[in-house]
């Protein structure tokens, strides 16, 4: 069992009603996290997940510990206890 | 030369109305290279009453991932400061809840001559629009709202 902190911005904040929370994961991969997130907040799946490629949508940025993850195969990434994770939709500066 | 005042205004994400454009410009007076500056250009983005699709807006909310956005803003400013003739670049982006006409962002470019300043200002605006972790939520007159992406 490990814990990660998930940060929510914009649409994600509206869906969850909070700006961050700590989640306990049974599986230490990104898939482990997304599975848990989708069970808890079904609309998040529609926002970030592409069932055809069984992965994150192309327009979604994954950020771990304030760094944008550039890896192509993000879904198999191994997470560490205490990681701070967020999914970002395309930006829209003022 | 006193540079304390200048150092106190940093590019980044701020709460609504935390800094005025006038304060940023006056802070440049104490910039260590102010004698090389012949042009100060500014861009201010404000809340328009219509969305990109032409729907009437009641108000606007801006959310940001501060750590990421501040890092990107500093990267943009550092890149543009490297351009020939550019003395200083400051980007101030506000977050919070906004009404029509409220200021959302200021971009300030100090350059030796106006021509390189105009180019740098446009580049800074195009970059912040795409590269900083900020999102706008438009609430329309009919009460519906949506995040812009």
Reply yes or no on whether the pLDDT at B1 is more than 70.
Answer: no
8 Å CB contact between B80 and B43: no
8 Å CB contact between B36 and B112: yes
Any CB–CB contact under 8 A between A15 and chain B? no
Count of domains observed in chain B = 1
Domain housing A59? 2-88
Chain-chain contact of B93 with A92 (C-beta, under 8 angstroms): no
Please report whether residue A17 resides in a domain: yes
- Tell me the average confidence (pLDDT) per consecutive run of 10 residues in chain A, 94 residues long: 95 97 94 95 96 92 94 85 97 87
Reply yes or no on whether the pLDDT at B3 is more than 70.
Answer: no
Reply yes or no on whether the pLDDT at B149 is more than 80.
Answer: yes
- Give the pLDDT confidence score for residue B6 in this predicted structure: 56
- Give the pLDDT confidence score for residue B5 in this predicted structure: 46
Contacts of B132 in chain A (CB under 8 A): 91, 93
- What span, in angstroms and rounded, lies between the C-alpha atoms of B85 and B118? 11
What ipTM is given for this predicted complex? 0.93
Domain housing B130? 4-148
8 Å CB contact between B99 and B18: no
Looking up residue A71, the CATH number of its domain turns out to be 3.10.20.30
Looking up residue B81, the CATH number of its domain turns out to be 3.90.1170.40
Q: How does pLDDT run across B14-43, given as a tens digit for each residue?
A: 999 999 999 999 999 999 999 999 999 999
3-state secondary structure string across A2-62? EEEEEECCCHHHHHHCCCEEEEEECCCEHHHHHHHHHHHCHHHHHHHEECCCCEECCCCEE
Contacts of B92 in chain A (CB under 8 A): none
- What span, in angstroms and rounded, lies between the C-alpha atoms of B49 and B11? 27
Count of domains observed in chain A = 1
Encoding tokens for residue B148? 């812009």
């Amino acid at each position: 069992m490990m814990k990660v902190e998930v940060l929510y911005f914009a649409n994600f904040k509206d869906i969850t009603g909070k700006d961050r929370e700590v989640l306990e994961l049974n599986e230490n991969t990104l898939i482990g996290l997304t599975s848990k997130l989708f069970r808890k907040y079904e609309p998040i799946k529609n926002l970030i997940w592409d069932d055809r490629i069984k992965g994150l949508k192309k327009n979604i940025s994954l950020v771990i510990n304030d760094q944008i993850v550039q890896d192509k195969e993000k879904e198999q990434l191994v997470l560490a206890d205490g990681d701070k994770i967020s999914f970002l939709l395309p930006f829209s500066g003022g | 030369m006193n540079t304390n005042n200048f150092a106190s205004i940093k590019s980044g994400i701020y709460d609504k109305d935390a800094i005025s454009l006038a304060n940023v410009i006056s802070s440049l007076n104490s910039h260590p290279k102010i004698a090389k500056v012949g042009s100060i250009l500014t861009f201010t983005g404000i809340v328009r009453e219509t969305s990109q699709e032409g729907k009437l807006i009641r108000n606007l909310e801006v959310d940001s991932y501060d750590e990421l956005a501040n890092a990107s803003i500093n990267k943009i400013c550092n890149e543009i400061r490297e351009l020939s003739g550019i003395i200083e670049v400051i980007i101030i982006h506000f977050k919070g809840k906004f009404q029509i006409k409220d200021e959302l962002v200021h971009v300030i470019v100090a350059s030796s001559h106006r021509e390189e300043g105009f180019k740098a200002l446009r580049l800074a605006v195009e970059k912040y629009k795409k590269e900083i972790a900020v999102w706008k939520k438009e609430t329309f007159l009919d009460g519906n709202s949506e995040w812009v992406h």
